[in-house]
Amino acid sequence: MAMAMGSASAAVPATCVRRAPRAGRRAGASVRASPVRRAGTRVVASAGLPIDLTGKRALIAGVADDQGYGWAIAKYLAAAGAEIIVGTWVPAVSIFETSLRRDKLDTSLPGGGNIDVKKVYALDASFCTPEDVPQDVLDNKRYQGAKNPYTVSEVAEQIKQDFGTIDILVHSLANGPEVKNNLLDTSRNGYLSAVSNSSYSFVSLLRYLGPIMNEGGSCISLTYIASERCIPGYGGGMSSAKAALESDTKVLAYEAGRKWGITVNTISAGPLASRAARSIGFIGDMIDYSEFNAPLPRPLYSENVGSVAAFLCSPLASSVTGTCMYVDNGLHAMGLASDSMSLTMNQDKLKEPKSTE
């Protein structure tokens, strides 16, 4: 089934992922600009220029439920005709496969039909080879019972044996054990772990999967604006990890472009209440902030990222590489929070009657 881009109607399932609207706003927050809530603005798939990924195979690394960006990307790639295989973090594989089997996930595709995940691999992207796995992980029951050898090199080898090649690699995973800590309170291990799990994991995946990627293939990762602007609360070295991921996108675009003829891009996505984001603790505030202050003051859906990913993986974007594409309703372009309380205060000052003395 090929997906088409253009104008016209929103062919997106009603079960899209977004946080439930809040009952009220924080006390004291000024309301200078209210989000424009337009029904039916999720225009992502319709008749028009086709995105046809028929015959392509995509590995999405970092899917464990239907709430995050990885699943939305998998659905859009599938809607465009790609065959989908998934790499799921070892501790989450069993529950993910059970949810899939029991129809607990939203598998509906834009334009109709359901996603068919060809195979789920257990993966821990923080280890390249079996020699990297530390004793405490080897002793962990969930790792001992893993359905397959789970380091990146081993998963790449299994994919080669099972399918031969892939065309699309999506890195949709991140993990910072001290993400709730200010950078100043982050330990060396916590910082290095954030970078290892969230940035080097992409280098590792490309290093081991590049040799089995077909020429003309595409790689995508997911980044966040905290890489280039300070977002207080996104700590533990996660902002540094995203900065590394974005810088690596350029270097890997060059190296993988020359070596295998593939593209490497990253999508800087706006806030979404995924499982990972909810664990950080302030995702609701980030969503409110975006909806009030972005140039397009409206909700961002995981589908908005899914459709851009499908475009970046398609022949339509075959000359786009080394790029960071913002899919955030434009929030990255703003230098002023239009709902800032200080703006209201200054406005009130202006309204004060002038002294007659």
Binding stretches for ligand NAD (CB under 6 A): 62-64, 67-70, 89, 92, 123-126, 172-175, 197, 222-224, 269, 271-272, 274-277
**Hey, is 6 helix, strand or coil?**
coil
Work out how close the CB of 59 gets to ligand NAD at its nearest, in angstroms, rounded to a whole number: 12
- Classify residue 296 by its DSSP letter: S
Whether residue 121 lies in the annotated active site: no
**Residue with smaller CB distance to ligand NAD, 108 or 204:** 204
Using CA atoms, how far apart are residues 93 and 73, in angstroms rounded to an integer? 19
**Residue with smaller CB distance to ligand NAD, 91 or 322:** 91
Work out how close the CB of 124 gets to ligand NAD at its nearest, in angstroms, rounded to a whole number: 5
Using CA atoms, how far apart are residues 257 and 93, in angstroms rounded to an integer? 32
Q: Which helix (H) or strand (E) holds 79?
A: helix 69-79
Work out how close the CB of 8 gets to ligand NAD at its nearest, in angstroms, rounded to a whole number: 28
Q: Which two tokens stand for residue 235?
A: 């700590």
**Residue with smaller CB distance to ligand NAD, 217 or 271:** 271
Q: Which two tokens stand for residue 153?
A: 């090199």
Question: Among the options 76, 200, 208, 234, which is catalytic?
Answer: 234
**Residue with smaller CB distance to ligand NAD, 4 or 296:** 296
Instruction: State the sign of the Cα–Cα–Cα–Cα dihedral 307, 309, 314, 317.
Output: positive
Using CA atoms, how far apart are residues 133 and 126, in angstroms rounded to an integer? 9
**Residue with smaller CB distance to ligand NAD, 30 or 168:** 168
**Residue with smaller CB distance to ligand NAD, 223 or 314:** 223
Provide φ and ψ at 297, rounded to 5°: -80, 75
Work out how close the CB of 171 gets to ligand NAD at its nearest, in angstroms, rounded to a whole number: 7
Which of these, 203, 123, 133, lies nearest to 156 by C-alpha position?
A: 123
CA 300 to chain centre: 13
**Hey, is 138 helix, strand or coil?**
helix
Which of these, 220, 249, 237, lies nearest to 310 by C-alpha position?
A: 220
Q: Which two tokens stand for residue 135?
A: 């004793």
Which residue type, as a one-letter code, is found at position 101? R
Q: Which two tokens stand for residue 185?
A: 């309170």
**Residue with smaller CB distance to ligand NAD, 30 or 70:** 70
- Classify residue 17 by its DSSP letter: -
Query: Which residue is closest to ligand NAD by CB?
Result: 68
Question: Among the options 224, 254, 289, 301, which is catalytic?
Answer: 224
Contact call for residues 143 and 137 (beta carbons, < 8 A): yes
Whether residue 69 lies in the annotated active site: no
Instruction: State the sign of the Cα–Cα–Cα–Cα dihedral 189, 190, 192, 198.
Output: positive
Work out how close the CB of 356 gets to ligand NAD at its nearest, in angstroms, rounded to a whole number: 53
Work out how close the CB of 289 gets to ligand NAD at its nearest, in angstroms, rounded to a whole number: 12
Q: Which two tokens stand for residue 187?
A: 């330990």
Work out how close the CB of 292 gets to ligand NAD at its nearest, in angstroms, rounded to a whole number: 16
Look-up of token digits 């946080």:
19
By annotation, the residues acting in catalysis are 224, 234
